[in-house]
């Protein structure tokens, strides 16, 4: 019922923008995205199939008509080109590492003034650490092997994930029936902090979640001359293995806020006594202060598989379907 003299209020429909060939179906969101923002979109010609699109907030390449001095535009374009080439190389290596549990990059392109990355949309029905820890030993070991296998493949192609944490490892229950219980599967996502081993430059940002930070990453941030390697992932995964098995991170002295602080102070970490001896020894080796003393992910996988002397046989990567688009307007 409308009262005399009142004005009808009509809620305006929000028109979401289109980024190149991707029509947004949700507004951009910055939750848990660092220096970026993300949304879901539909790509032209894909019959309504949704995908995940992320917009990098930096670098930004100004338009020629922006009013910025030409020499400044030239510098910014140079920065953008360097960013594009470096990311493109990393993303190619990620896709070549695909194991089925690594979420591939379907597109990386420049639009208007910014860069965008597109991946498959993965429903976030993640299990809590406590729920995972309540599973039986066999189920948890399968999960750890899946993760070790995926990281082994990445490392074989020189990719350092550099930001392993629960939010970047999507874990779900799969299968299940009258005679079989449900198993766990994990998918690795978010390679925005990743780099190729040996190709990281001094002026590159130091990224990663401080909870899972390797000791050498902290030393680098503190000004030490340190080279980061795939072993930073081994340390982070050691912490995560302990969490997946017990529901908690390893314990350390109350005077420390993070695991890497205790390790750097040579105070060590206390592993839960409920962990089977072989797995406990493996996790302990992954959490060594010296990266050289940590096992490779190949060795981690082999220990979990009970095949210490056998190499991992990696399947051929799927046919390349990455959308490469050279920045235009430069």
Q: What are the average pLDDT values for consecutive 10-residue runs of the chain, which has 330 residues?
A: 46 81 94 84 88 94 84 92 94 93 95 95 81 93 95 97 94 66 87 93 85 96 93 98 97 96 93 95 96 97 79 41 44
Are 103 and 165 within 8 A, CB to CB? no
**Sequence spans of domains, the chain:** 18-121, 129-305
How many other CB atoms are there within 10 angstroms of residue 310's CB atom?
10
Record the pTM: 0.86
Q: What CATH architecture is 129-305?
A: Orthogonal Bundle (1.10)
Please tell me the predicted confidence (pLDDT) of residue 308.
59
Q: Is 173 helix (H, G, I), strand (E, B) or coil?
A: strand
What tokens appear for 65 in the block? 């008509």
User: 18-121: which CATH number, 3.30.230.80, 3.30.200.20, 1.10.3720.10, 3.20.20.70?
Assistant: 3.30.200.20
Cα distance between residue 203 and residue 81, in whole Å? 16
Please tell me the predicted confidence (pLDDT) of residue 64.
80
Please tell me the predicted confidence (pLDDT) of residue 46.
81
Cα distance between residue 146 and residue 129, in whole Å? 16
């Amino acid at each position: 019922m409308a009262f005399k003299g009142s004005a009808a209020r009509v809620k305006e429909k929000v028109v979401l923008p289109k980024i190149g060939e991707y029509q947004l179906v949700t507004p951009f969101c910055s939750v848990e995205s660092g220096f970026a923002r993300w949304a879901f979109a539909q790509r032209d010609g894909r019959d309504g199939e949704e995908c995940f699109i992320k917009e990098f907030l930096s670098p930004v390449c100004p338009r020629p008509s922006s009013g910025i001095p030409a020499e400044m535009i030239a510098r910014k374009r140079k920065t953008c080109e360097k960013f594009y080439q470096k990311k493109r190389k990393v993303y190619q290596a990620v896709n070549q590492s695909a194991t089925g549990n690594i979420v591939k990059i379907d597109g990386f392109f420049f639009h208007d003034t910014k860069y965008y990355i597109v991946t498959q949309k993965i429903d976030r029905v993640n299990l809590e650490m406590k729920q995972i820890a309540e599973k039986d030993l066999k189920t948890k070991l399968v999960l750890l092997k899946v993760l070790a296998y995926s990281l082994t493949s990445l490392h074989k192609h020189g990719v350092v994930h550099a930001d392993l944490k629960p939010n970047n490892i999507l874990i779900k229950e799969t299968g299940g029936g009258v005679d079989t219980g449900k198993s766990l599967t994990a998918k690795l996502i978010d390679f925005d902090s990743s780099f190729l081993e040996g190709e990281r430059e001094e002026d590159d940002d130091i990224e990663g979640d401080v909870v899972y930070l390797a000791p050498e990453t902290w030393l680098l941030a503190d000004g030490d001359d340190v080279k980061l390697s795939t072993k930073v992932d081994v340390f982070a995964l050691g912490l995560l293995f302990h969490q997946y098995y017990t529901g908690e991170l390893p314990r350390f002295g109350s005077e420390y806020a993070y695991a890497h602080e205790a390790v750097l102070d040579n105070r060590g970490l206390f592993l839960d006594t409920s962990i089977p001896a072989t797995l406990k020894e493996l996790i302990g080796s992954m959490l060594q202060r010296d990266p050289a003393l940590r096992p490779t992910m190949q060795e981690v996988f082999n220990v979990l598989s009970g095949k210490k002397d056998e190499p991992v046989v990696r399947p051929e990567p799927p046919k390349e379907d990455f959308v490469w688009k050279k920045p235009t307007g430069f």
